[in-house]
Chain A
Amino acid sequence: MKKFLSSPAFWRGAASIVVFLVLWEIGARSKQWMSPEFFMPFKELLGAMGFKKDYLPWIGAVPAPSGVLKAWIAVLGQQGYWQSWYMSMFRVMGGFVAAMIVGIPFGLMLAVSRVAHGVGFPVFEVLRPIPPLAWVPASIIFWPTQELAIIFITFLGAFYTIVINVLGGARSIDVRYFQAAQSMGSSNWDIFRRVILPGTLPSIVVGSAVGMGITWEVVVAAEMISGGGSQQAGVGGGLGFFIWNSYVGGSYEQIVVGMISIGIAGFISSELLRWGGRYATPWLKAR
Chain B
Amino acid sequence: MAVDHCSLEIEAGEICMIVGPSGCGKTTLLNAIAGFHDITSGRITMDGEVLCSDDKPKSTPGPDRIVVFQNGALFPWKSNLENVIFGPVMQGKLARKEAIEKGRGMMADAGLSGVEHNYPGEVSSGMRRRVEIVRALMNDPKALLLDEPYRALDSLTKSVMHEALLEIYYKNKVTIFFITHDLEEAIFLGHRVAIMTTRPCKPKKVLDVDIPHPRDYSVLTSKRFRELIEETNDAVHEEALKAFQAGEKEG
A interface list, Cβ under 8 A from B: 174, 176-177, 179-186, 190, 194-195, 198-199, 201, 281-284, 286-287
Contact = CB atoms under 8 A, between A and B. Distances in A.
29 contacts: A174-B73, A176-B69, A176-B73, A179-B34, A179-B67, A179-B69, A179-B73, A180-B67, A180-B73, A181-B86, A181-B90, A182-B61, A183-B34, A183-B62, A183-B63, A183-B65, A183-B66, A184-B87, A184-B91, A184-B139, A185-B87, A186-B90, A190-B90, A198-B78, A199-B77, A201-B77, A282-B119, A283-B78, A286-B118
B121 interface: yes
A203 to B, nearest CB: 13
A42 to B, nearest CB: 58
B63 A185 contact: yes
Nearest 9 CB-CB pairings of A with B? A286-B121, A184-B87, A176-B73, A185-B91, A198-B77, A286-B122, A283-B119, A180-B73, A183-B61
B121 A184 contact: no
A184 B90 contact: yes
Given A183-B67, A184-B63, 7 more contacts: A174-B73, A176-B69, A183-B35, A185-B63, A190-B90, A199-B77, A286-B121
Contacts of B65: 183
B170 interface: no
Nearest to B93: A185
B169 interface: no
A174 B71 CA distance: 11
B140 to A, nearest CB: 11
A184 B75 CA distance: 13
A287 B77 CA distance: 12
B105 interface: no
Contacts of B63: 183-185
Nearest to B66: A183
Contacts of B36: 179
Interface residues of B, number: 26
B90 A179 contact: no
Contacts of B34: 179, 183
A20 to B, nearest CB: 39
A275 to B, nearest CB: 18
A177 B87 contact: no
Interface string B70-88: 0101011110000000110
Interface in B36-63: 36, 61-63
Nearest to B147: A176
| Residue of B34, B66, B86 contacting most chain A CB atoms (<10 Å) | B86
Nearest to B63: A185
Nearest to A184: B87
A286 B119 CA distance: 7
A281 B77 contact: yes
A181 B78 CA distance: 13
Contacts of A282: 119
A194 B120 CA distance: 16
Contacts of B118: 286
Interface in B77-130: 77-78, 86-87, 90-91, 118-122
Interface string B4-41: 00000000000000000000000000000011100000
Contacts of A176: 69, 71, 73
Given A184-B66, A185-B63, A195 B75 contact: yes
Contacts of B120: 283
Nearest to B92: A185
Nearest to B34: A183
B132 to A, nearest CB: 9
Nearest to B139: A184
In this complex, the member of B62, B65, B77 whose beta carbon has the largest number of chain A beta carbons within 10 angstroms is B77
